Structure 1
Amino acid sequence: MYLKITRLALTFLSGLILPAAAMAQSSKKDITINASGIQMVLNYDHQASITSLTVGGQTVISGAGGVFTSVTMDGTVYSSQHLNTSPVLLKTKNTIKLNGIQYGPVTENWTFTISSQNIKWRIERSNTKALKVDEAAFPAFNFDNINTWEGAYQGYGGLAWFYLFNEKLCTYGIHTRSSDFWNSKNNTGLNITVDAPGKNVCMKYSRTNGDKLAYTIGVSDKEMQYKMDTGTNRRRFIRQRTDVWAPYIIPAGKSYQTIKLSYFNFNQKYGRGKLKGIDSTAVSAVLNTIARIGVIDSLHFGGNSWHTPYGPICLHEQYIGQLGLGINDPKYLKGYQSCLDFYRDHAIKPDGRVYPRWAYTNEDAMPGKFNQYGFYEAQWGILMDSNPDLVTNVAELYDMSGDKTWVKTHQLSCEKALDWILKRDSNHNGLVEMMTNDQSEKKSSDWIDIIWASYENAFVNAKLYHALVKWAAIERLLNNNTKAGYYEDFAARLKTSFNKSTKDGGFWDEEKGCYVHWIAKDKTVHGTNMVTPVNFMAIAYGICDDGARRKTILDNIETQMQQEKLFFWPIAMTTYAPGEGNGWQFPFPNYENGDLFLSWGSIGVKAYAAYSPALALKYVKNVLNQYSKDGLAFQRYGRLKQDGLGDDILSGNSLAIVGLYQAIYGINPEYNRLYLDPHITPELEGTSLNYRFRNERLVVNLEHDKYAVSNSRFKMVAQTDFGFFATKTRLSYFNGNNANAALQITSAKPLTIEIKNWDASKMEWLQTSAPSSSPVTYTVHQLKPNSAYTYSVDGNFVKSIQSNTSGDLVISRKSSAGTKLITISSKK
Structure 2
Amino acid sequence: MIKRFLTAFLILQLLALVQVFAHDKKLKTIITGNRTITLAIPDKKLSITIDFSKGYLIRELKIKGKNVLSPAGIYTGISTKSKSFFSNSQFNGIKLSQNNGLIRLSGLIYGDQTIAVNETWEFKVYHDKIHWSITREYNNTTKLEDMAFPQYNFAGMDVWKGGILDNGGMVWCKYLKQVNDTYGVHTGGVTFWNAESGNGLRISTKTGNGNVIATKYSHSANNEFTCTQYVTNSRLEQRYNLSRFVSGKADVFAPFQIKKSMVKLEVDLQYVDYFKEYSRGTLPGIDAAAVRELLNTTGRYGVVDNNIIGANGWVSNWKCLHEPFFAQIGMAVDDSNYIKNMSATLDQERDEAVLASGRVLSRWHNVPGDEIPGTYNPKTGYYEAMWGYTIDSQPDFVINTAEQFDLSGNIKWLQLHQTTCEKALDWLIKRDSNDNGIFEMMNNNISEKKCSDWLDIVWASYENSFVNAQMYEALTLWANCEKTLGDQEKSAYYTAVAQRLKTAFNKPITEGGFWSPDKKQYVYWRDNDGSIHGDNLVTPVNFAAIAFGLCDDQQRIAQILDQVEARSIKENLFHWPLCFDSFKREEVSGGNWPFPKYENGDIFPTWGYLGIRAYATYNKGIALKYINNILQQYKKDGLSSQRYDRATQTGQGDDILAGISTTITALYRDIYGIRPKWNRMGIEPNMPAQLNGTTFSYTLRDTVYRLKLNVNDYEMSTTGFSIKSKDGFGAGKTGNMLTFYPGNKDEVIMQVNALSKQPINMQINSWGTDAFSWIMTSADNYSFTVKGLQAQANYRVNINNFSRDIKTDDLGSFTVKQRCASSTKFIVTKGL
> How does the TM-score come out when normalised to structure 1?
0.94
For residues 188-587 of structure 1, the aligned pairs below 5 Å read 188-197=199-208, 198-229=210-241, 234-308=242-316, 311-372=317-378, 373-587=380-594
Amino acid at match of 2:282: K
Give the Cα separation in 1 of the matches to 2:714 and 2:464.
40
- 1:319 maps to a residue whose letter is F
Q: Deviations over 1:456-507 (max 9, x none)?
A: 1111111111111111111121122332222222111111111111000111
User: Percent identity over the alignment?
Assistant: 37
**1:39 corresponding residue in structure 2:** 47
> Does the aligned pair in 2 maintain the 1:385–1:447 contact within 8 Å?
yes
Distance of 1:516 and 1:30 partners within structure 2 = 72
Matched with 1:178 is 189
CA deviations on 1:227-272 (whole Å, 9 max, x unpaired) are 112xxxx221122221111111111122222122222221332111
Amino acid corresponding to residue 297 of structure 1 in structure 2:
D
Q: Aligned with 1:274: secondary structure?
A: coil
d(CA) in 1 for partners of 2:441, 2:413: 31
Q: Quote the offset at 1:119 in angstroms.
A: 2.5
TM-superposition CA deviations, 1:800-822 (whole Å, max 9, x none): 544433332333344435x3323
Cα offset, 1:719, TM superposition = 0.6
Counterparts of 1:531 and 1:86 in 2: how far apart (Å)? 73
Choose the corresponding residue for 1:663, options 667, 670, 694.
Answer: 670
Query: SS of the counterpart of 2:62?
Result: strand
Q: Does 1:742 align with 2:730?
A: no
CA contact (8 A) 1:755 1:765 kept: yes
Contact 1:2 1:24 in 2 (8 A): no
Asked whether 1:129 is paired with 2:136, we answer no
Contact 2:280 2:289 in 1 (8 A): no
Structure 2 equivalent of residue 768 of structure 1: 777
Residues 732 and 741, structure 1, Cα contact 8 Å, conserved in 2: no
Query: Which shows bigger deviation, 505-514 or 66-75?
Result: 66-75
Deviations 1:267-298 (A, max 9, x none): 33211100001211111111111011111111
8 Å contact from structure 2 (residues 738, 760) kept in 1: no
Query: Secondary structure of 1:667's match?
Result: coil
CA contact (8 A) 1:793 1:820 kept: yes
C-alpha distance in 2 between matches for 1:787 and 1:390: 43
1:821 matched to which residue of 2? Answer: 825
Q: CA deviation at 1:778?
A: 2.4
CA distance in 1 between counterparts of 2:413 and 2:149 reads 34
Counterpart Cα distance in 2 of 1:3 and 1:787: 87
Rounded Cα–Cα distance in structure 2 between residues aligned with 1:73 and 1:646: 40
Aligned counterparts of 2:783 and 2:119: Cα–Cα separation in 1: 60
Which residue number corresponds to residue 812 of structure 1?
A: 817
Q: Which sections of structure 1, spanning at least 5 residues, go unmatched?
A: 11-20
Q: What is the RMSD computed on CA atoms of the aligned residues? A: 1.8
Question: Judging changes above 3 Å, is the alpha-carbon distance between structure 1 residues 760 and 681 closer, same or farther for their aligned structure 2 residues?
Answer: closer
**CA–CA separation in structure 2 for the residues paired with 1:151 and 1:2:** 39
Q: Distance in 2 between matches of 1:342 and 1:107?
A: 38
Alignment check: 8 A CA contact 1:45 1:86 kept: no
Name the CA distance, whole Å, in 1 between partners of 2:275 and 2:760.
Answer: 28
How far, CA to CA, are the matches of 1:694 and 1:668 in structure 2? 13
1:160 is matched with: 171
CA distance in 2, matches of 1:97, 1:267: 35
Hey, what's the Cα distance between the residues in 1 that align with 2:357 and 2:680? Answer: 35
> 3-state SS of the aligned residue for 1:395?
helix
Structure 1 residue 429 displacement after superposition: 1.0
Q: Secondary structure at the match of 2:586?
A: coil
Distance 1:258 1:543 in 2: 53
Q: Do the aligned residues in 2 keep the contact of 1:778 with 1:811 (CA within 8 Å)?
A: yes
The Cα shift of 1:350 comes to 1.8
Say which SS state the counterpart of residue 304 (structure 2) adopts: strand
1:409-438 superposed Cα distances (whole Å, 9 cap, x missing partner): 111111111111111111111111111211
Aligned to 2:765: 756
CA distance in 2, matches of 1:361, 1:256: 34
Amino acid corresponding to residue 650 of structure 1 in structure 2: L
Q: Distance in 2 between matches of 1:639 and 1:204?
A: 37
Q: Secondary structure at the match of 1:341?
A: helix
> Secondary structure of the equivalent of 1:240?
coil
Q: Secondary structure at the match of 1:365?
A: coil
TM-score normalized with structure 2 length: 0.94
Taking the aligned partners of 1:780 and 1:487, their CA distance within structure 2 comes to 29
- Asked whether the equivalents of residues 75 and 134 of structure 1 are also in contact (C-alpha less than 8 Å), the reply is no
- Check the 8 A contact 2:70/2:224 in 1, yes or no: no
Runs (5+) with no aligned partner, structure 2? 1-17
* Counterpart Cα distance in 1 of 2:473 and 2:788: 28
Would the alpha carbon gap of residues 248 and 549 (structure 1) be closer, same or farther in structure 2, given more than 3 Å must change?
same
Deviation at 1:56, TM superposition (A): 4.7
* 1:827 CA drift (Å): 4.9
- The 3 A distance-change label for structure 1 pair 356 and 28 is same
Provide the rounded CA distance (Å) in 1 between the counterparts of 2:222 and 2:747: 60
- Are the structure 2 counterparts of residues 85 and 594 from structure 1 closer, same or farther at C-alpha, using a change threshold of 3 Å? same
In structure 2, give the amino acid aligned to 1:823.
Answer: I
Deviates more, 1:726-735 or 1:716-725: 726-735
- CA deviations over 1:38-58 (Å, ceiling 9, x no partner): 311122223112111123554
Cα separation, 2, equivalents of 1:355 and 1:328? 28
Q: How much has 1:728 moved relative to structure 2?
A: 4.8
Q: Once the 2 structures are TM-superposed, how far is the Cα of residue 88 of structure 1 from its aligned partner?
A: 1.4
Partner of 2:8: none
Q: CA deviation at 1:316?
A: 0.4
> Shift of residue 108 of structure 1?
1.3
**In the alignment, is the contact (CA less than 8 A) between 2:395 and 2:425 conserved in 1?**
yes
Cα shift at 1:790? 4.5
Matched, 1:187 2:198: yes
Deviation at 1:731, TM superposition (A): 2.4
Q: Check whether the contact 2:776–2:820 (CA below 8 A) recurs between aligned residues.
A: no
Opposite residue 201 of structure 1, the aligned amino acid is I
Is the contact made by 2:21 and 2:33 (CA closer than 8 Å) also made in structure 1?
no
Note if 1:653 corresponds to 2:664: no
Residue 15 of structure 2: aligned partner: none
Contact 2:398 2:474 in 1 (8 A): yes
Distance 1:506 1:783 in 2: 38
Cα offsets for 1:716-768 (capped at 9, x unmatched): 11111211223353322211131255222234212421101223443321222
Higher deviation after alignment, 31-40 or 197-206:
31-40
User: Which residue is equivalent to 2:7?
Assistant: none
1:190–1:264 contact (8 Å) kept in structure 2: yes
Whole-Å Cα distance in 2 between the matches of residues 223 and 649 of structure 1?
28
Contact 1:385-1:463 within 8 A present in 2 as well: yes
Contact 1:156–1:336 at 8 Å: present in 2 too?
no
Partner in structure 2 of residue 681 of structure 1: 688
**Structure 1 residues 407 and 318: CA distance shift in structure 2, 3 A:** same
For the 8 Å contact 1:4–1:22, the answer to whether it is kept is: no
**Counterpart contact for 1:94–1:115, Cα < 8 Å:** no
SS at match of 1:533: helix
> Which shows bigger deviation, 806-815 or 702-711?
806-815
Residues 2 and 591 from structure 1, CA distance in 2 versus in 1: closer, same or farther, beyond 3 angstroms? Answer: farther
